[in-house]
């Protein structure tokens, strides 16, 4: 992911390694915005409603009985921080996808309602024309050929 910073704090006296994954909120917003602008339709979504933390911390503590290994401590601390970040990212991305899905459903409902209104108006006009010109009258009838007398 872009713009994510990973920092380590090494505390040999307490035998701890702390991993900080920072700038995650901006990366998440970038993910949502980037995905949204790649589609043909840009949703008007309030990105700030998705509460993504801006940093995640993972800690690896070396037992007094174990040998100090800074590299292994960094790997463990990073894995713990990354797990927290990934879990939060997935939860927020899932909320985002559900919101987009709900918006799609809302748009489909609006389109269906529009189609029903058009059909009702067509049927009303067709009925009025049939009353005036007889039941054989049709606005759009592909079965009958229209001939003109010259």
pLDDT at 71: 95
Residue range 52-67: average pLDDT?
93
Choice between 88 and 3, residue whose per-residue pLDDT is larger: 88
Q: CATH topology for 5-104? A: Double Stranded RNA Binding Domain (3.30.160)
- 26: pLDDT strictly greater than 70: yes
Residue 19 has φ and ψ, to the nearest 5°, of: -110, 130
Identify the pLDDT of residue 56: 95
Task: Quote the mean pLDDT of the chain.
Answer: 82
81 exposure class (CB count in 10 Å sphere: 0-12, 13-18, 19+): buried
Specify the range with the lowest mean pLDDT, choosing from 12-21, 86-95, 129-138: 129-138
Q: Indicate if the pLDDT at residue 41 is higher than 60.
A: no
Q: How confident is the model at residue 62 (pLDDT cuts 50, 70, 90)?
A: very high
Predicted local distance difference test score (pLDDT) of residue 150: 47
**Any idea of the CA torsion for 30, 35, 41, 44, to the nearest 10 degrees?**
-40
What pLDDT score was predicted for residue 83?
Answer: 96
pTM recorded for the entire structure = 0.65
Check residues 150 and 122 and name the one with the higher pLDDT: 122
CA-nearest of 129, 145, 10, 116 to 70 is: 10
Listed by start position, the domains of the chain span 5-104
**What is the mean pLDDT of the segment spanning 34-54?**
65
Residues 6+ apart with CB under 8 A from 34: none
Q: Which residue has the higher pLDDT, 28 or 117?
A: 117
């Amino acid at each position: 992911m872009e713009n994510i910073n990973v920092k380590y704090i090494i505390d040999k006296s307490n035998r701890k390694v702390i991993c900080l994954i920072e700038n995650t909120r901006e990366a998440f917003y970038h993910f949502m915005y980037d995905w949204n602008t790649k589609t043909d339709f840009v949703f008007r979504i309030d990105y700030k409603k998705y509460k993504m933390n801006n940093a995640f911390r993972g800690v690896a503590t070396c037992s007094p009985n174990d040998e100090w290994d800074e590299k292994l401590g960094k790997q463990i601390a990073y894995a713990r921080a990354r797990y927290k970040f990934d879990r939060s990212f997935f939860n927020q991305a899932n909320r985002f996808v559900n919101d987009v899905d709900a918006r799609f459903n809302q748009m489909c409902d609006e389109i269906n309602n529009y189609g029903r209104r058009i059909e009702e108006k067509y049927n009303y006009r067709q009925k009025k024309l049939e009353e005036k010109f007889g039941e054989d009258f049709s606005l759009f009838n592909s079965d009958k050929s229209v001939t003109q007398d010259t």
